[in-house]
């Protein structure tokens, strides 16, 4: 399976700030997972960290 490229025009901090303002859980969880990947976590670790599966 080919992984999708993660955008890098937003910082991990900006993604977390956006996620905190969300009222829906799934988009917020995805944003937190992407922020974790931008800070060096593997995609699998990031997904598990927010209760998702890769």
N-term to C-term CA, the chain:
12
| In the predicted structure, residue 1 carries a pLDDT above the cut 70 | no
Domain boundaries, the chain: 26-54
Q: What is the model's pLDDT at position 14? A: 97
What Cα–Cα distance (Å) separates residue 31 from each residue in 8, 9, 27, 44? 12, 13, 6, 14
**Residues whose CB falls within 8 Å of the CB of residue 29, separated by 6 or more in sequence, listed in order:** 19, 50, 51, 52
pLDDT tens by residue, 3-54: 788 888 999 999 999 999 999 999 999 999 999 999 999 999 999 999 988 7
């Amino acid at each position: 399976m080919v992984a999708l490229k993660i955008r890098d025009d937003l910082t991990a901090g900006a993604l977390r700030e956006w996620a905190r303002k969300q009222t829906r859980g799934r988009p917020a969880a995805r944003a937190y997972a992407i922020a974790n990947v931008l800070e060096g976590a593997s995609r699998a670790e990031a997904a598990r960290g927010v209760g998702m599966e890769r």
